[in-house]
Structure 1
Amino acid sequence: MDTEETVEDLLRRHAPQVLGALVRRYGHFDAAEDAVQEALLAAARQWPESGTPANPRGWLIRVAARRLTDQLRADEARARREETAARLEPRETRAAPSDDDTLTLLFLCCDPSLAPAARIALTLRAVGGLTTAEIARAHLVPEATIAQRISRAKAKLRDHPFHPPGPDDRDDARLATVLQVLYLIFNEGYTATSGAALRRADLAQEAIRLTRAVRRLLPREATVTGLLALMLLTEARSAARTGAHGELVPLDEQDRSLWDRAAIAEGTALVEEALTEGPPGPYQLQAAISALHDEARVPEDTDWPQILALYDVLVADWPDPMAELGRVVAVAMTHGPEAGLTELTALEPRLKDHHRLWAVRAHLLERTGATEPARAAYEQAAALTLSLPERHYLHTKAARLGR
């Protein structure tokens, strides 16, 4: 990894913690985010030449705090409140905050006063570090819509108190949003929606870290346990998902000796615990599906009928296009590719512009022997994805089928 990549990774990792520290100390969410962005830009310019400071997060907090207090001082001078502004002057002796600031920021962004869509968009931006475009792609909505949601949410939270989450923050709406955001951050880390790399390991690991922190806060909450299990069971396969040159390796071709058996054991124990703590929710069901995949030592051992049964429950109670697409694959693996293609037709109106629908269609068509339609579907999938490894994989599959 070169110096610029190292700096970029550091900045992405520390940005939510720096923002959390500023909002906790000063409030002013919107202004604090602007100050953090200025500090990140300063670091990106200075660190490659002068070297990374010994305490990168502390450096970023000091620079961002100066930017913020300068702005607040100017604002309050106009309002003739210099005395208040003076009290906002940062103290160099203050210690850098703990990582708990990120967890606190997470719960703040999921405040029940915000509309659900706004909570998710803001948290993905502030805590997950995703760009507006990445958030828009994850939700299949225009980028301008996401930008408006984030702007309105920041304005509404401008003067909200910033404090560590406690029992009062356990309401179902806020917790559901917290978990949904963590899941989306993990998904973007596990399979990046764009760029040259298949995954963003920093995002996946941060999502797991924060989910562990939420579970420490709510140890008997089955949905939290289920989500952590799902992340661990999925991330356990990460080392086998790419080849020597970063190319995508599909599940049925992976070297399963590379799977993280310790993570699989922990995830399996957690999903078993979650399923005994209450009625199964979407995360518990998805974790159970992942556990069945991970238990199979070879692809032929995969218990597809059981996976299909779990998908049936999942999509009946928590309908979601991606879950329904997973169910289509399970139908095809259990009852044959023709049955999967029949089920796929119902998803076309909602997913016709998503590359995963076309990739599944191509795979199923290939299994039926429909070579030319399969090749065309692979090419259509490649045209729709912004992930370079996925695009290369899909073009390769199309090329192998010839013209």
Structure 2
Amino acid sequence: MILIRNGRLIDPKTKRDEVVDILIKDNKIEKIGNIDENDVDRIIDAKGCIVSPGLIDVHVHFRDPGFTHKEDILTGSASAAKGGFTTVVCMANTNPIVDNEETLDYINEKAKLSSINVLQASAITKGFKGKEIVDMDKMIKAGAVGFTDDGLPIMDSDIILKAMNMAKERNVPLSFHEEDPSLITCAGINDGKISKQMGILGAPNVAEDVMVSRDCMLALKSGAKVNIQHISSKNSVEMVRFIKKLGANVYAEATPHHFTLTEDDVLTYGTNAKMNPPLRTLEDKMAIIEGLKDDTIEIIATDHAPHTYEEKNVEFTKAPSGIIGLETALSLGITSLVKNNHLNMMKLIEKMTINPARLYNLESGSIEEGKVADIVIFDENEEFVVDKFVSKCENTPFKGHKLFGKVKYTICGGKAVFEEKK
């Protein structure tokens, strides 16, 4: 048994915000309250710290199978645990692509060795070609928790609508990468003042806006549960806000880099500020923050995308897009959103726990008696310098930054899977 003493429990599902003790027995939460228990294996003193549900990230790339020199399921899991995450949903753009039962079985078997809950999304279309929908029933039976062609947009609207109708019948979410490639010259950088200064024609926000508009309308038509991934444009935020008012079951996610940085940061961080969709203007960033504040954007997700130093250390136009994010996400949320009075702590945790759980129909995301003990303990006021990573890669603009919010312990299934080194 583990006894967590004197921590400030913040649980958005139950709306609890109080200093209590939590007793963990086996893998579940046995009791919450004032606990006088001597027969325990371990006592964790959480005085001065927040105790929240383990974080859930619905958008990660663990590169396994096929690209394990960048990351694999076990190193990605360790990176997640260090960041306070107890559940992640992996994207399907592996090699081979997760559009078949065999690849999904491999991932699920390896995930059994993970210290956290590693879930896998299936591709929507076979081979990410946007032409033929996978056998959803077989993939769900094999363990897929949702469907996405993340990394590539699906251009055929008829395919999208058919997939949405099928997903609605099966009560599974679809997640969409929203960029029209025909409108993009160089992916990974906003088509604006910085790209012009660098002599590059980039990715304009309209490439995202037209796709978001289409998929929002198709979501309204179908009634499917649809997630707009890594939203970056103010117009797209407004479109999601509008479609919600019409009754569509649309979710939206924002990444820490999109609510923290702008296109100006490309000049400072180079290829470590290259991602799809790109960092955009200050106006776009503030629109994302407003969307987080009014719950137009319900979810914070990292789009954790490891690339090696050699892959990133090339000419900007030749570098792959993406940055790692699991080990800095909570701290960026605290530093950029809570400390700047955009969100309170309850709302930040909500967007990183119970809301992602609801998108994927998960039982996790809360701290309640009888529930599995997935918990993170962190000090919101402890400042630290982002330095060493347990991910295989270090492609991030945030290395060297001073952030608030140090993760002290991550507990998954009743076991401590990360502890801060003293």
TM-score between the two structures when normalised by the length of structure 1: 0.30
Structure richer in helix, relative to its length: 1
TM-score between the two structures when normalised by the length of structure 2: 0.29
The higher radius of gyration belongs to 1
Q: Which structure has more RCO (C-alpha within 8 Å, separation ≥ 6)?
A: 2
